[in-house]
């Protein structure tokens, strides 16, 4: 496989050096693998920390900045960061108002963030945790007990980040984050497997002419494999799977997320089909975001995430944000 890298062992460090060069508003500790907004800690503000394996960019480092995360901890590719990273990040962003850990539901992430919370609390940092588990495709997977955390992570980080930026206290920010997670559901589809730098080849076998319905962001198996379907057919299947679980009379935020290798031409066409299905189901769309936000290296495919919103959640979604991967209102 051809990859734009030096050697597999330095992929994450090289990417962090590039992130630092491109975004001087971030403090990037390459050695300790911690990305922090340069003005942290912000007086009177709850700190938001998230993280996970690399390979899902811009998640999470691309979402560090005003209006979203205060720090992110990248692990090795598809590997959880270690507790020391998270504890170091918590200490860097704590202004005395406490820190919220936003954790995708993968076993390594959950265990390591739990240990990091204990370390941080031993140092006098008040910590709350929110688990993101929005994927309706499967209940358990190769990496997970319970539902996987996927696209809703972006909604949680953005809305909780806006509340923290306004000065909301820790318990309020955590409650909003949990509410967003509970109001969100996702479903992903793979048209090809992804390739990790260490393996140098596809991480799973997906024959030509087939797709994986309900794939996870690490290439975990979904519900079933079928012969290749049209964008219209995929949207019918994915949106129905989400709405079957979400059941909403409220307007929704829509995220049409690319898995890394699907061009925007295709993603916007798929977004049109997602809107068609929602219109047929009489689900009002409040806002739509299309692009590569929660990726799986070079996987071709897409995911759909819907989040029920009211006026408060929509206001927080629309609030200004200034990060490498998400930016508006600034």
List the one residue out of 201, 238, 200, 208 whose CA is nearest residue 222.
238
H helical segments located in 71-128: 83-93, 107-122
Rounded Cα–Cα distance for residues 118 and 126 (Å): 10
- Give the Cα separation of 265 and 288 in Å (integer): 16
Catalytic residues: 56, 218
Gyration radius (Cα) of the chain, Å: 19
CA distances to 45, 82, 83, 133, 254 from 165, rounded to whole Å, are: 7, 27, 25, 24, 23
- Per-residue 3-state assignment (H helix, E strand, C coil) for 251-275: CEEEEEEECECCCHHHHHHHHHHHH
- Where would I find the beta strands (DSSP E) of 152-296? 184-190, 210-213, 224-227, 252-258, 285-291
User: What does the block give as tokens for 149?
Assistant: 């955390």
Give the three-class secondary structure for 307.
Answer: strand
Element (H or E) spanning 50, and its range?
A: strand 47-54
Q: Which residues of 24-60 are buried (b: 16+ CB within 10 A; e: fewer)?
A: eebbbbeeebbbbbeebbbeebbbbbbbbbbbbbbbb
Order the strands of the 47-54 sheet from edge to edge: 26-29, 34-37, 71-77, 47-54, 99-104, 127-132
Q: Are 266 and 113 in contact (CB under 8 A)?
A: no
């Amino acid at each position: 496989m051809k990859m734009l890298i030096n050697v597999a062992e330095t992929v994450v460090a090289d990417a962090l050096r590039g992130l630092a060069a491109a975004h001087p508003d971030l403090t990037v500790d390459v050695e300790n693998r911690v990305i922090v907004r340069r003005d942290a800690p912000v007086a009177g503000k709850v700190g938001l920390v998230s993280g996970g394996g690399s390979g899902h960019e811009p998640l999470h480092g691309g979402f560090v900045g005003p209006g979203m995360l205060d720090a992110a901890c990248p692990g090795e590719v598809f590997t959880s960061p270690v507790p020391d990273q998270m504890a170091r990040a918590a200490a860097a962003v704590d202004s005395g108002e406490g820190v919220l850990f936003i954790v995708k539901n993968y076993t390594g992430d959950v265990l390591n963030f739990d240990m990091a919370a204990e370390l941080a609390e031993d140092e006098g940092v008040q910590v709350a945790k929110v688990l993101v588990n929005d994927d309706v495709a499967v209940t358990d997977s190769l990496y997970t007990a319970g539902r996987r955390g996927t696209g809703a992570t972006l909604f949680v980080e953005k809305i909780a980040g806006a509340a923290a930026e306004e000065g909301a206290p820790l318990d309020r920010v955590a409650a909003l984050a949990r509410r967003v997670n509970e109001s969100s559901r996702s479903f992903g589809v793979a048209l090809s497997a992804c390739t990790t730098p260490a393996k140098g080849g596809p991480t799973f076998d997906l024959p030509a002419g087939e797709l994986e319905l309900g794939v996870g962001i690490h290439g975990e198996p979904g519900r079933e494999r079928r012969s290749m379907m049209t964008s219209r057919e995929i949207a019918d299947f994915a949106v129905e799977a989400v709405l079957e679980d979400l059941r909403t009379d409220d307007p929704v935020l829509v995220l049409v997320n690319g898995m890394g290798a699907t061009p925007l031409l295709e993603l916007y066409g798929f977004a049109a089909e997602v809107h068609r299905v929602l219109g047929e189901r009489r689900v009002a769309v409040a806002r739509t975001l299309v692009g590569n936000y929660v990726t799986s290296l070079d996987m071709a495919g897409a995911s759909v995430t819907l989040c029920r919103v009211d006026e408060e959640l929509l206001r927080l979604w629309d609030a200004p944000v200034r990060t490498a991967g998400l930016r508006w209102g600034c």
